Amino acid sequence: MTTDSPVAPLRVAVLGADGRMGRTTCDAVDAAPGLELVARIVRGDDVAQALADSGADVAVDFTRPDITEDNVRAALDAGVHVVVGTTGWTAERQGRVREHLARRAAEGLDLGVIVAPNFGLSAVLAMTFATKAARYFESVEVIELHHPDKLDAPSGTATHTARAVAAARSAAGVAPSPDATESGFEARGADVGGVRVHAVRLRGLVAHEEILLGNVGEQLVIRQDSFDRVSFMPGVVLAVREVVRRPGLTVGLEHVLDLD
């Protein structure tokens, strides 16, 4: 008589474990079947040493935009897959991570990195719906609303949305949104690929986004609201489980959910 050997849990380290998202992530990993929290890494810790000591398979980064790229490099050097929720990832930073992953692959180690501007399922769906709708409307703008402790503006979610919308409109041959503004451009928000993005910072908010699309005589508003950080945790847990099966860099949870 033979019995199946038990499957070892994925060993997870959380970077930024003392922050709001980090603490919530630690609780979610602790509660998730098949995952084991092996390290809570906080500011001042030696990331490379902590990962090596923990024997982690996956690192989840919820730190700061100014240090997250270095954390990813340290994790890859330690042979650890990475899930990143910290925003501030430019195309240049993504390119450097791809190069680092390619070097590790050439050394025989296929590692995965998932960078998700937002782990909320409603947010990912809102972005997806907006991208599909964008080609059918003359005008489009994005409003993102967050708590005032957020460090970056516009948010990674809004930037990711605007870039996807702009790419869809360009591919469909849609002209830029009409705008006769001649003065006061500072009130028109950031220009992300030709899509205006407006950032609100207000006490009492968590994370919210509106995509406004308009034609003559009609308007479509797609709105997403995250009222509690626990709403991001199903997406985080999904990314942790999937990253070990996805070599290379994946940007956006929509690809993990097969929504692209």
Cα separation, 204 vs 226, whole angstroms: 12
pLDDT of residue 7: 73
Peptide bond into 65 cis (omega under 30): no
Does residue 132 carry a catalytic annotation? no
Q: Give the C-alpha separation, 10 to 23, whole Å.
A: 19
pLDDT, residue 1, reads 43
Model pTM score? 0.83
- Closest by CA to 90, choosing from 117, 118, 130, is 117
User: Which parts of the chain have pLDDT scores under 70?
Assistant: 1-6, 260
**φ, ψ (nearest 5 deg) of residue 82:** -135, 135
**Which one is catalytic: 81, 100, 147, 150?**
150
Of the residues 81, 100, 132, 146, only one is catalytic, namely 146
The number of beta carbons lying within 10 Å of the beta carbon of residue 186 is 6
> Would you state the pLDDT for residue 92?
93
Is 146 assigned a catalytic role? Answer: yes
